[in-house]
Chain A
Protein backbone atom coordinates (compact mmCIF):
# COMPACT_ATOMS: atom_id res chain seq x y z
CA UNK A 1 0.00 0.00 0.00
CA UNK A 2 1.38 3.36 -1.02
CA UNK A 3 0.14 5.28 1.99
CA UNK A 4 1.44 2.84 4.60
CA UNK A 5 -0.38 -0.17 6.00
CA UNK A 6 -3.71 -0.05 7.81
CA UNK A 7 -4.49 -2.28 10.77
CA UNK A 8 -6.87 -5.25 10.34
CA UNK A 9 -9.82 -3.82 12.31
CA UNK A 10 -9.55 -0.47 10.58
CA UNK A 11 -9.39 -2.14 7.17
CA UNK A 12 -12.54 -4.22 7.80
CA UNK A 13 -14.52 -1.22 9.01
CA UNK A 14 -13.36 0.86 6.03
CA UNK A 15 -14.56 -1.83 3.64
CA UNK A 16 -17.89 -2.17 5.44
CA UNK A 17 -18.22 1.61 5.41
CA UNK A 18 -17.69 1.87 1.67
CA UNK A 19 -20.28 -0.83 0.96
CA UNK A 20 -22.66 0.83 3.43
CA UNK A 21 -22.23 4.16 1.63
CA UNK A 22 -23.05 2.52 -1.71
CA UNK A 23 -26.25 0.98 -0.25
CA UNK A 24 -27.19 4.35 1.21
CA UNK A 25 -26.75 6.11 -2.16
CA UNK A 26 -28.77 3.38 -3.83
CA UNK A 27 -31.54 3.70 -1.29
CA UNK A 28 -31.58 7.51 -1.58
CA UNK A 29 -31.64 7.26 -5.40
CA UNK A 30 -34.59 4.89 -5.36
CA UNK A 31 -36.49 7.20 -2.98
CA UNK A 32 -35.82 10.19 -5.23
CA UNK A 33 -36.78 8.28 -8.40
CA UNK A 34 -39.82 6.87 -6.64
CA UNK A 35 -40.43 4.33 -9.41
CA UNK A 36 -39.78 0.65 -8.56
CA UNK A 37 -39.93 -0.29 -12.27
CA UNK A 38 -36.85 1.84 -13.10
CA UNK A 39 -34.78 1.85 -9.91
CA UNK A 40 -36.02 -0.43 -7.14
CA UNK A 41 -34.43 0.08 -3.73
CA UNK A 42 -32.06 -2.33 -1.97
CA UNK A 43 -34.82 -3.80 0.18
CA UNK A 44 -37.04 -4.62 -2.80
CA UNK A 45 -34.12 -6.21 -4.62
CA UNK A 46 -33.09 -8.21 -1.55
CA UNK A 47 -36.56 -9.67 -1.22
CA UNK A 48 -36.71 -10.42 -4.96
CA UNK A 49 -33.37 -12.26 -4.82
CA UNK A 50 -34.69 -14.34 -1.93
CA UNK A 51 -37.81 -15.22 -3.91
CA UNK A 52 -35.86 -16.04 -7.09
CA UNK A 53 -33.49 -18.34 -5.24
CA UNK A 54 -36.43 -20.18 -3.65
CA UNK A 55 -38.47 -20.72 -6.83
CA UNK A 56 -37.80 -22.00 -10.32
CA UNK A 57 -37.35 -19.34 -13.01
CA UNK A 58 -39.48 -18.76 -16.11
CA UNK A 59 -37.71 -21.58 -18.00
CA UNK A 60 -38.30 -24.04 -15.19
CA UNK A 61 -34.68 -23.96 -13.95
CA UNK A 62 -33.58 -22.65 -10.56
CA UNK A 63 -31.43 -19.55 -10.21
CA UNK A 64 -28.63 -21.75 -8.89
CA UNK A 65 -28.33 -23.48 -12.26
CA UNK A 66 -27.91 -20.15 -14.03
CA UNK A 67 -25.47 -18.79 -11.46
CA UNK A 68 -23.53 -22.05 -11.44
CA UNK A 69 -23.25 -22.12 -15.22
CA UNK A 70 -22.10 -18.50 -15.35
CA UNK A 71 -19.45 -19.16 -12.68
CA UNK A 72 -18.26 -22.31 -14.46
CA UNK A 73 -17.92 -20.40 -17.75
CA UNK A 74 -16.02 -17.60 -16.03
CA UNK A 75 -13.60 -19.99 -14.35
CA UNK A 76 -12.90 -21.99 -17.52
CA UNK A 77 -12.57 -18.95 -19.78
CA UNK A 78 -10.47 -17.08 -17.23
CA UNK A 79 -8.08 -19.97 -16.65
CA UNK A 80 -7.69 -20.56 -20.39
CA UNK A 81 -7.03 -16.85 -21.07
CA UNK A 82 -4.52 -16.54 -18.23
CA UNK A 83 -2.59 -19.65 -19.30
CA UNK A 84 -2.58 -18.64 -22.97
CA UNK A 85 -1.63 -15.05 -22.08
CA UNK A 86 1.25 -16.11 -19.84
CA UNK A 87 2.53 -18.55 -22.48
CA UNK A 88 2.33 -15.97 -25.29
CA UNK A 89 3.81 -13.15 -23.19
CA UNK A 90 6.68 -15.37 -22.10
CA UNK A 91 7.29 -16.57 -25.66
CA UNK A 92 7.40 -12.94 -26.83
CA UNK A 93 9.87 -12.11 -24.09
CA UNK A 94 12.12 -15.05 -24.96
CA UNK A 95 12.11 -14.79 -28.73
CA UNK A 96 12.95 -11.65 -30.68
CA UNK A 97 11.18 -13.11 -33.71
CA UNK A 98 7.91 -13.65 -31.83
CA UNK A 99 8.29 -10.26 -30.19
CA UNK A 100 8.36 -8.34 -33.45
CA UNK A 101 5.76 -10.59 -35.06
CA UNK A 102 3.20 -10.38 -32.23
CA UNK A 103 3.79 -6.94 -30.74
CA UNK A 104 2.02 -5.32 -33.70
CA UNK A 105 -1.04 -7.51 -33.07
CA UNK A 106 -1.46 -6.48 -29.44
CA UNK A 107 -2.85 -2.93 -29.92
CA UNK A 108 -5.09 -4.33 -32.64
CA UNK A 109 -6.57 -6.87 -30.24
CA UNK A 110 -6.69 -4.51 -27.25
CA UNK A 111 -8.84 -2.00 -29.14
CA UNK A 112 -11.34 -4.61 -30.33
CA UNK A 113 -14.77 -3.57 -28.93
CA UNK A 114 -16.13 -6.21 -26.56
CA UNK A 115 -19.64 -6.17 -28.05
CA UNK A 116 -18.23 -6.64 -31.56
CA UNK A 117 -16.18 -9.64 -30.50
CA UNK A 118 -19.20 -11.20 -28.79
CA UNK A 119 -21.34 -10.76 -31.92
CA UNK A 120 -18.58 -12.17 -34.11
CA UNK A 121 -18.22 -15.20 -31.82
CA UNK A 122 -21.99 -15.81 -31.97
CA UNK A 123 -21.86 -15.56 -35.77
CA UNK A 124 -18.98 -18.01 -36.01
CA UNK A 125 -19.98 -20.52 -33.37
CA UNK A 126 -23.72 -20.08 -33.05
CA UNK A 127 -25.39 -20.42 -29.67
CA UNK A 128 -22.73 -22.66 -28.15
CA UNK A 129 -20.29 -22.66 -25.26
CA UNK A 130 -17.39 -22.30 -27.69
CA UNK A 131 -18.57 -18.83 -28.71
CA UNK A 132 -18.32 -17.43 -25.19
CA UNK A 133 -14.93 -19.02 -24.63
CA UNK A 134 -13.55 -17.68 -27.91
CA UNK A 135 -14.88 -14.19 -27.18
CA UNK A 136 -13.22 -14.12 -23.73
CA UNK A 137 -9.95 -15.55 -24.97
CA UNK A 138 -9.76 -13.15 -27.93
CA UNK A 139 -10.27 -10.17 -25.64
CA UNK A 140 -8.46 -11.16 -22.42
CA UNK A 141 -5.44 -13.14 -23.69
CA UNK A 142 -3.77 -10.15 -25.44
CA UNK A 143 -4.12 -8.10 -22.27
CA UNK A 144 -2.49 -10.78 -20.14
CA UNK A 145 0.19 -11.39 -22.79
CA UNK A 146 1.22 -7.74 -22.98
CA UNK A 147 1.48 -7.55 -19.18
CA UNK A 148 3.69 -10.64 -18.99
CA UNK A 149 5.76 -9.38 -21.91
CA UNK A 150 6.39 -6.10 -20.06
CA UNK A 151 7.42 -8.24 -17.10
CA UNK A 152 10.00 -10.15 -19.14
CA UNK A 153 11.57 -6.82 -20.16
CA UNK A 154 11.93 -5.87 -16.50
CA UNK A 155 13.65 -9.13 -15.49
CA UNK A 156 17.16 -9.09 -14.05
CA UNK A 157 19.37 -10.02 -17.01
CA UNK A 158 22.33 -10.87 -14.80
CA UNK A 159 20.38 -13.75 -13.19
CA UNK A 160 19.44 -15.15 -16.59
CA UNK A 161 23.10 -14.93 -17.59
CA UNK A 162 24.01 -16.77 -14.38
CA UNK A 163 21.56 -19.57 -15.27
CA UNK A 164 22.91 -19.80 -18.81
CA UNK A 165 26.50 -19.90 -17.54
CA UNK A 166 25.58 -22.89 -15.37
CA UNK A 167 23.98 -24.49 -18.47
CA UNK A 168 20.42 -24.43 -17.12
CA UNK A 169 17.86 -25.67 -19.64
CA UNK A 170 15.05 -23.35 -20.80
CA UNK A 171 12.46 -25.22 -18.72
CA UNK A 172 14.52 -24.86 -15.54
CA UNK A 173 15.16 -21.19 -16.28
CA UNK A 174 11.44 -20.57 -16.79
CA UNK A 175 10.50 -22.30 -13.53
CA UNK A 176 13.16 -20.90 -11.23
CA UNK A 177 14.32 -17.64 -12.82
CA UNK A 178 11.62 -16.23 -15.11
CA UNK A 179 8.30 -17.03 -13.44
CA UNK A 180 9.27 -15.89 -9.91
CA UNK A 181 10.27 -12.51 -11.36
CA UNK A 182 7.03 -12.35 -13.34
CA UNK A 183 4.73 -12.97 -10.35
CA UNK A 184 3.89 -9.28 -9.73
CA UNK A 185 2.95 -8.93 -13.38
CA UNK A 186 0.89 -12.12 -13.31
CA UNK A 187 -1.01 -10.89 -10.23
CA UNK A 188 -1.77 -7.51 -11.75
CA UNK A 189 -2.97 -9.20 -14.96
CA UNK A 190 -4.99 -11.63 -12.83
CA UNK A 191 -7.07 -8.87 -11.21
CA UNK A 192 -7.88 -7.05 -14.38
CA UNK A 193 -8.43 -10.18 -16.47
CA UNK A 194 -10.87 -11.55 -13.91
CA UNK A 195 -13.04 -8.45 -14.12
CA UNK A 196 -12.89 -8.46 -17.91
CA UNK A 197 -13.86 -12.14 -18.08
CA UNK A 198 -16.87 -11.59 -15.82
CA UNK A 199 -18.19 -8.77 -18.02
CA UNK A 200 -17.61 -10.60 -21.30
CA UNK A 201 -19.24 -13.83 -20.11
CA UNK A 202 -22.33 -11.90 -18.94
CA UNK A 203 -22.47 -10.13 -22.30
CA UNK A 204 -22.03 -13.34 -24.29
CA UNK A 205 -24.81 -14.95 -22.24
CA UNK A 206 -27.07 -11.98 -22.88
CA UNK A 207 -26.81 -12.23 -26.63
CA UNK A 208 -25.69 -15.71 -27.43
CA UNK A 209 -26.65 -18.27 -24.79
CA UNK A 210 -29.75 -19.87 -23.35
CA UNK A 211 -28.63 -20.32 -19.75
CA UNK A 212 -26.71 -18.19 -17.30
CA UNK A 213 -27.23 -14.87 -15.50
CA UNK A 214 -26.87 -12.88 -18.73
CA UNK A 215 -29.54 -14.91 -20.54
CA UNK A 216 -31.98 -14.36 -17.68
CA UNK A 217 -31.30 -10.64 -17.78
CA UNK A 218 -32.10 -10.67 -21.50
CA UNK A 219 -35.29 -12.66 -20.88
CA UNK A 220 -36.63 -10.22 -18.33
CA UNK A 221 -35.43 -7.21 -20.33
CA UNK A 222 -37.51 -8.46 -23.30
CA UNK A 223 -40.59 -9.31 -21.26
CA UNK A 224 -41.03 -5.91 -19.65
Chain B
Protein backbone atom coordinates (compact mmCIF):
# COMPACT_ATOMS: atom_id res chain seq x y z
CA UNK B 1 0.00 0.00 0.00
CA UNK B 2 1.32 3.42 -0.84
CA UNK B 3 1.56 5.92 1.94
CA UNK B 4 -1.50 7.95 2.42
CA UNK B 5 -0.56 11.56 2.40
CA UNK B 6 -3.52 13.46 3.64
CA UNK B 7 -3.77 16.78 1.90
CA UNK B 8 -5.64 19.23 4.01
CA UNK B 9 -7.74 21.10 1.51
CA UNK B 10 -9.16 23.76 3.77
CA UNK B 11 -6.83 26.35 5.17
CA UNK B 12 -8.02 26.99 8.69
CA UNK B 13 -8.66 30.70 9.19
CA UNK B 14 -6.80 32.17 12.10
CA UNK B 15 -4.48 29.22 12.51
CA UNK B 16 -1.16 31.00 12.66
CA UNK B 17 1.23 28.15 13.37
CA UNK B 18 -0.35 25.45 11.27
CA UNK B 19 2.38 22.98 10.52
CA UNK B 20 3.12 22.32 6.87
CA UNK B 21 4.42 18.86 7.66
CA UNK B 22 3.04 17.01 10.66
CA UNK B 23 4.15 13.49 11.50
CA UNK B 24 2.49 11.79 14.46
CA UNK B 25 3.54 8.52 16.08
CA UNK B 26 4.80 7.16 12.80
CA UNK B 27 5.95 3.55 12.89
CA UNK B 28 7.44 1.68 9.98
CA UNK B 29 8.54 -1.95 9.91
CA UNK B 30 10.40 -3.98 7.33
CA UNK B 31 9.97 -7.74 7.24
CA UNK B 32 13.12 -9.19 8.82
CA UNK B 33 14.93 -11.63 6.53
CA UNK B 34 14.32 -15.23 7.58
CA UNK B 35 12.35 -14.32 10.68
CA UNK B 36 8.66 -14.26 11.52
CA UNK B 37 8.88 -10.98 13.34
CA UNK B 38 9.51 -7.73 11.53
CA UNK B 39 12.24 -5.21 11.99
CA UNK B 40 11.21 -1.78 13.21
CA UNK B 41 12.86 0.99 11.20
CA UNK B 42 10.99 3.99 12.55
CA UNK B 43 9.54 3.87 16.04
CA UNK B 44 6.83 6.37 17.05
CA UNK B 45 8.32 9.31 15.21
CA UNK B 46 6.61 12.65 15.76
CA UNK B 47 7.79 15.87 14.23
CA UNK B 48 6.47 19.02 12.66
CA UNK B 49 7.76 21.59 10.24
CA UNK B 50 6.14 24.99 9.99
CA UNK B 51 5.69 26.96 6.83
CA UNK B 52 8.95 28.46 5.57
CA UNK B 53 10.94 26.76 8.29
CA UNK B 54 14.26 24.98 7.73
CA UNK B 55 14.29 21.84 9.87
CA UNK B 56 17.02 19.20 9.94
CA UNK B 57 16.99 15.63 11.10
CA UNK B 58 20.42 14.48 12.25
CA UNK B 59 21.23 10.87 12.87
CA UNK B 60 23.82 8.19 12.19
CA UNK B 61 23.96 6.62 8.73
CA UNK B 62 21.40 3.89 8.17
CA UNK B 63 19.07 5.05 10.94
CA UNK B 64 16.04 5.30 8.65
CA UNK B 65 16.17 9.01 7.81
CA UNK B 66 15.76 8.39 4.08
CA UNK B 67 12.82 6.08 4.77
CA UNK B 68 11.18 8.88 6.74
CA UNK B 69 11.62 11.31 3.83
CA UNK B 70 10.23 8.74 1.39
CA UNK B 71 7.15 8.33 3.56
CA UNK B 72 6.61 12.09 3.70
CA UNK B 73 7.09 12.23 -0.10
CA UNK B 74 4.35 9.61 -0.39
CA UNK B 75 6.45 6.95 -2.15
CA UNK B 76 6.76 4.54 0.75
CA UNK B 77 4.16 2.91 3.00
CA UNK B 78 3.97 2.80 6.80
CA UNK B 79 2.23 0.73 9.44
CA UNK B 80 0.77 3.17 11.91
CA UNK B 81 0.60 6.82 12.83
CA UNK B 82 -0.16 9.70 10.50
CA UNK B 83 1.60 11.94 8.04
CA UNK B 84 -0.07 15.21 7.10
CA UNK B 85 1.17 17.54 4.42
CA UNK B 86 -0.83 20.76 4.35
CA UNK B 87 -1.05 23.19 1.45
CA UNK B 88 0.59 26.54 1.68
CA UNK B 89 -1.69 29.18 3.22
CA UNK B 90 -3.72 31.00 0.58
CA UNK B 91 -3.17 28.30 -2.02
CA UNK B 92 -6.35 26.79 -3.34
CA UNK B 93 -5.05 24.02 -5.60
CA UNK B 94 -4.82 20.38 -4.70
CA UNK B 95 -2.26 20.37 -1.96
CA UNK B 96 1.45 21.00 -1.79
CA UNK B 97 4.06 20.49 -4.40
CA UNK B 98 6.81 18.37 -2.89
CA UNK B 99 10.34 18.48 -4.25
CA UNK B 100 13.06 15.97 -3.47
CA UNK B 101 16.85 16.34 -3.61
CA UNK B 102 18.72 13.06 -3.37
CA UNK B 103 22.19 12.20 -2.11
CA UNK B 104 23.44 11.79 -5.66
CA UNK B 105 22.21 14.15 -8.41
CA UNK B 106 20.20 11.43 -10.21
CA UNK B 107 20.28 13.27 -13.51
CA UNK B 108 19.37 11.65 -16.82
CA UNK B 109 22.79 11.63 -18.47
CA UNK B 110 21.36 11.27 -21.99
CA UNK B 111 19.47 14.54 -21.70
CA UNK B 112 20.88 18.06 -21.67
CA UNK B 113 20.74 20.12 -18.48
CA UNK B 114 17.72 21.94 -19.89
CA UNK B 115 15.93 18.71 -20.84
CA UNK B 116 16.61 17.28 -17.37
CA UNK B 117 14.75 20.21 -15.84
CA UNK B 118 12.00 20.03 -18.45
CA UNK B 119 11.54 16.34 -17.60
CA UNK B 120 10.27 17.22 -14.12
CA UNK B 121 8.26 20.19 -15.44
CA UNK B 122 6.48 17.78 -17.77
CA UNK B 123 6.07 15.26 -14.94
CA UNK B 124 4.41 17.95 -12.83
CA UNK B 125 2.09 19.06 -15.65
CA UNK B 126 3.49 22.57 -15.69
CA UNK B 127 2.37 24.27 -18.94
CA UNK B 128 4.96 24.12 -21.73
CA UNK B 129 4.74 27.88 -22.22
CA UNK B 130 6.42 28.42 -18.84
CA UNK B 131 9.27 25.94 -19.33
CA UNK B 132 11.85 28.25 -20.87
CA UNK B 133 11.36 30.93 -18.24
CA UNK B 134 11.48 28.42 -15.35
CA UNK B 135 14.62 26.73 -16.67
CA UNK B 136 16.45 30.02 -17.21
CA UNK B 137 15.42 31.47 -13.86
CA UNK B 138 16.48 28.50 -11.76
CA UNK B 139 19.71 27.76 -13.61
CA UNK B 140 20.60 31.38 -12.97
CA UNK B 141 19.71 30.92 -9.30
CA UNK B 142 22.22 28.08 -8.92
CA UNK B 143 24.83 29.92 -10.99
CA UNK B 144 24.67 27.70 -14.05
CA UNK B 145 23.36 30.09 -16.71
CA UNK B 146 24.71 29.14 -20.11
CA UNK B 147 24.89 25.41 -19.30
CA UNK B 148 21.42 24.71 -20.76
CA UNK B 149 22.68 22.64 -23.67
CA UNK B 150 25.50 20.91 -21.83
CA UNK B 151 25.28 17.28 -20.75
CA UNK B 152 25.51 16.24 -17.07
CA UNK B 153 28.60 14.08 -17.60
CA UNK B 154 30.53 17.16 -18.76
CA UNK B 155 29.87 18.82 -15.39
CA UNK B 156 31.68 18.36 -12.08
CA UNK B 157 29.96 16.60 -9.18
CA UNK B 158 29.16 19.92 -7.51
CA UNK B 159 27.72 21.35 -10.72
CA UNK B 160 25.63 18.23 -11.22
CA UNK B 161 24.16 18.62 -7.74
CA UNK B 162 23.43 22.28 -8.60
CA UNK B 163 21.50 21.10 -11.65
CA UNK B 164 19.56 18.74 -9.36
CA UNK B 165 18.77 21.70 -7.09
CA UNK B 166 17.75 23.88 -10.06
CA UNK B 167 15.57 20.99 -11.23
CA UNK B 168 13.74 20.73 -7.92
CA UNK B 169 13.37 24.51 -7.54
CA UNK B 170 11.96 24.76 -11.08
CA UNK B 171 8.78 22.98 -10.00
CA UNK B 172 8.44 25.77 -7.41
CA UNK B 173 7.99 23.38 -4.50
CA UNK B 174 6.14 24.34 -1.34
CA UNK B 175 8.08 21.68 0.49
CA UNK B 176 11.63 20.61 -0.17
CA UNK B 177 12.87 17.29 1.13
CA UNK B 178 16.66 17.03 1.03
CA UNK B 179 18.42 13.75 1.72
CA UNK B 180 22.11 14.41 2.56
CA UNK B 181 22.45 16.41 -0.66
CA UNK B 182 26.06 17.45 -0.04
CA UNK B 183 27.42 14.24 1.49
CA UNK B 184 28.90 13.04 -1.80
CA UNK B 185 30.82 16.25 -2.41
CA UNK B 186 34.30 17.13 -1.22
CA UNK B 187 34.48 19.35 1.88
CA UNK B 188 35.29 22.56 0.00
CA UNK B 189 32.57 22.13 -2.62
CA UNK B 190 30.07 21.13 0.06
CA UNK B 191 30.88 24.28 2.08
CA UNK B 192 30.34 26.46 -0.98
CA UNK B 193 27.10 24.65 -1.77
CA UNK B 194 25.77 25.26 1.74
CA UNK B 195 26.48 28.98 1.49
CA UNK B 196 24.87 29.04 -1.94
CA UNK B 197 21.84 27.11 -0.72
CA UNK B 198 21.23 29.74 1.96
CA UNK B 199 21.61 32.43 -0.69
CA UNK B 200 19.21 30.64 -3.06
CA UNK B 201 16.66 30.23 -0.27
CA UNK B 202 16.41 33.97 0.18
CA UNK B 203 14.97 34.04 -3.38
CA UNK B 204 12.77 30.93 -3.23
CA UNK B 205 11.51 30.13 0.23
CA UNK B 206 10.08 26.65 0.48
CA UNK B 207 9.58 24.75 3.70
CA UNK B 208 12.57 22.46 4.09
CA UNK B 209 13.10 19.15 5.80
CA UNK B 210 16.80 18.38 5.54
CA UNK B 211 18.37 15.07 6.48
CA UNK B 212 22.04 14.83 7.35
CA UNK B 213 24.55 13.02 9.54
CA UNK B 214 26.68 16.15 9.77
CA UNK B 215 25.88 18.19 12.90
CA UNK B 216 27.92 21.21 11.77
CA UNK B 217 25.93 21.33 8.55
CA UNK B 218 22.63 21.02 10.43
CA UNK B 219 23.52 23.81 12.87
CA UNK B 220 24.67 26.15 10.11
CA UNK B 221 21.58 25.67 7.94
CA UNK B 222 18.65 25.03 10.26
CA UNK B 223 16.07 26.85 12.32
CA UNK B 224 15.46 23.69 14.29
CA UNK B 225 17.09 20.28 14.62
CA UNK B 226 15.67 16.88 15.48
CA UNK B 227 18.22 14.39 16.76
CA UNK B 228 17.63 10.76 15.95
CA UNK B 229 19.30 7.52 17.00
CA UNK B 230 19.18 4.17 15.25
CA UNK B 231 17.70 0.69 15.48
CA UNK B 232 14.91 1.52 15.82
CA UNK B 233 15.03 5.18 14.89
CA UNK B 234 13.63 7.41 17.62
CA UNK B 235 13.80 11.14 18.01
CA UNK B 236 15.54 11.83 21.32
CA UNK B 237 15.91 15.58 21.21
CA UNK B 238 14.64 18.71 19.52
CA UNK B 239 16.96 21.71 19.46
CA UNK B 240 16.09 25.22 18.30
CA UNK B 241 18.96 27.05 16.60
CA UNK B 242 18.61 30.61 17.87
CA UNK B 243 21.45 32.11 15.90
CA UNK B 244 20.64 35.12 13.79
CA UNK B 245 21.05 35.05 9.99
CA UNK B 246 23.08 35.63 7.90
CA UNK B 247 25.38 33.12 9.58
CA UNK B 248 29.01 32.31 8.97
CA UNK B 249 30.09 28.67 9.03
CA UNK B 250 32.94 29.47 11.44
CA UNK B 251 30.85 31.62 13.80
CA UNK B 252 31.76 30.65 17.36
CA UNK B 253 28.06 30.34 18.32
CA UNK B 254 27.63 27.74 15.60
CA UNK B 255 30.76 25.86 16.65
CA UNK B 256 29.69 25.95 20.33
CA UNK B 257 26.25 24.57 19.61
CA UNK B 258 27.75 21.88 17.38
CA UNK B 259 30.11 20.85 20.22
CA UNK B 260 27.27 20.63 22.71
CA UNK B 261 25.20 18.54 20.34
CA UNK B 262 28.06 16.21 19.44
CA UNK B 263 28.64 15.56 23.15
CA UNK B 264 24.96 14.87 23.67
CA UNK B 265 24.86 12.57 20.65
CA UNK B 266 27.72 10.41 21.84
CA UNK B 267 26.25 10.35 25.33
CA UNK B 268 23.03 8.90 23.98
CA UNK B 269 24.73 6.46 21.62
CA UNK B 270 27.06 5.18 24.34
CA UNK B 271 24.25 4.81 26.86
CA UNK B 272 22.56 2.57 24.32
CA UNK B 273 25.52 0.20 23.95
Which residues of A does B touch, CB under 8 Å? 158-159, 161-169, 172, 176-177, 180
Determine how close the nearest CB of chain A comes to the CB of B104; give it in whole angstroms: 7
Per DSSP, are chain B's interface residues mostly helix, strand or loop, or mixed? loop
Contacts A167-B123, A168-B119 given; indicate if A162 touches B111 (C-beta within 8 A). no
Instruction: Report which of B106, B122, B124, B171 forms a contact with A162, defined as CB distance below 8 A.
Output: B106
Compute how far the CA of A163 lies from the CA of B171 in the bound complex, rounded to whole angstroms: 13
In the assembled complex, which residues on chain B have CB atoms less than 8 Å from the CB atom of A167? 123-124
In the assembled complex, which residues on chain B have CB atoms less than 8 Å from the CB atom of A165? 73, 75, 100
In the assembled complex, which residues on chain B have CB atoms less than 8 Å from the CB atom of A180? 108, 110-111
The CB with the most chain B CB atoms within 10 A, among A163, A166, A172, is that of A166
For chain B, the count of residues having a C-beta within 8 Å of the partner chain is: 15
Which residues of B does A touch, CB under 8 Å? 73, 75, 100, 102, 104, 106, 108, 110-111, 119-120, 122-124, 171
Contacts A172-B119, A172-B122, A176-B111 given; indicate if A164 touches B106 (C-beta within 8 A). no
Compute how far the CA of A166 lies from the CA of B104 in the bound complex, rounded to whole angstroms: 15
List the A residue with the shortest CB-CB distance to B177: A165
In the assembled complex, which residues on chain B have CB atoms less than 8 Å from the CB atom of A158? 102, 104, 106
Contacts A165-B100, A169-B123 given; indicate if A176 touches B75 (C-beta within 8 A). no
Compute how far the CA of A166 lies from the CA of B169 in the bound complex, rounded to whole angstroms: 12
A159 and B108 contact, CB distance less than 8 A: yes
Compute how far the CA of A23 lies from the CA of B120 in the bound complex, rounded to whole angstroms: 57
In the assembled complex, which residues on chain A have CB atoms less than 8 Å from the CB atom of B110? 180
In the assembled complex, which residues on chain B have CB atoms less than 8 Å from the CB atom of A168? 119-120, 122-123
List the B residue with the shortest CB-CB distance to A165: B100
List the A residue with the shortest CB-CB distance to B73: A165
The CB with the most chain B CB atoms within 10 A, among A158, A161, A165, is that of A165
